[in-house]
């Protein structure tokens, strides 16, 4: 495996769960990490100049642009983006007991964070990665998105979550094709249940 030492990464949703575990692993591997999240959690600690927090709403164009610029200012480059920020909601399409349909604003919120937020961070990170000098494999950057097993087998009450993660899966290949000539690799993982920091 190629060394990650000295590379600069952004991890969204990095103050808890899979994002926090990812940020810690990257730090342990010698990366400098910009952690993006709505707010700091008690489990997050900045480590001198190697790990910096940046308050970020991933679906905000201004926040995503600021996060990428902050990474460039702090680390002088951006090599890796790991999209872990996410929202989940358990709600049926129609609740018979309450005689209510799924709230549209809740559905929109989940798609805003999981789908639009992921795409927003990808497009902004690409603006920085294309400026990198290619490595020996002609690579300038790597983008890793987080979908879910729910993208392929959503359960009861997961309509918004499954739709949002299915969209992340669907956009991965065209984005990878868009960016391959620029030396940027794009991939998506689809984890199931995981034991992660809270």
Cα 34 → chain centroid: 12
- The upper half-sphere exposure of residue 164, i.e. CA atoms within 13 Å in the direction of its Cβ, equals 25
- Helix residue ranges per DSSP H, the chain: 17-28, 61-75, 104-111, 117-129, 159-179
Q: In the block, which residue shows the tokens 């049926």? A: 92
Taking the C-alpha atoms of 175, 181, 183 and 188 in order, what is their torsion angle to the nearest 10 degrees?
Answer: 20
Question: What spatial distance separates the first Cα and last Cα of the chain, rounded to whole Å?
Answer: 29
Q: How far is CA 85 from CA 82, 92, 97, 100, 117, in A?
A: 9, 23, 32, 29, 8
Q: Which of 44, 53, 119, 161 is catalytic?
A: 161
**Torsions phi, psi of 70, nearest 5?**
-65, -45
Residue 161 annotated to the active site: yes
Residue pair 121/54 in contact by the 8 Å Cβ criterion: no
Question: Catalytic positions, please?
Answer: 161
């Amino acid at each position: 495996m190629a060394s990650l030492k000295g590379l600069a990464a952004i991890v969204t949703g990095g103050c808890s769960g899979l994002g926090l575990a990812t940020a810690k692993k990257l730090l342990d591997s010698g990366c400098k990490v910009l952690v993006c999240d709505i707010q700091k959690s008690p489990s997050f600690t900045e480590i001198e100049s190697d790990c910096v927090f940046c308050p970020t709403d991933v679906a905000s164009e201004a926040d995503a642009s600021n996060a990428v610029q902050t990474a460039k200012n702090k680390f002088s480059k951006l090599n890796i983006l790991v999209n872990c920020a996410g929202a989940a909601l358990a709600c049926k399409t129609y609740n018979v007991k309450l005689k209510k349909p799924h709230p549209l604003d809740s559905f929109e919120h989940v798609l805003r964070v999981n789908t639009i937020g992921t795409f927003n961070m990808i497009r902004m990170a690409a603006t920085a990665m294309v400026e990198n000098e290619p490595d020996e494999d002609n690579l300038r950057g790597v983008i890793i998105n987080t979908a879910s097993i729910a993208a392929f087998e959503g359960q009861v009450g997961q309509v918004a979550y499954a739709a949002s993660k299915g969209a992340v899966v669907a956009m991965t290949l065209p984005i990878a094709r868009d960016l391959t000539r620029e030396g940027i690799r794009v991939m998506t993982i689809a984890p199931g249940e995981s034991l992660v920091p809270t």
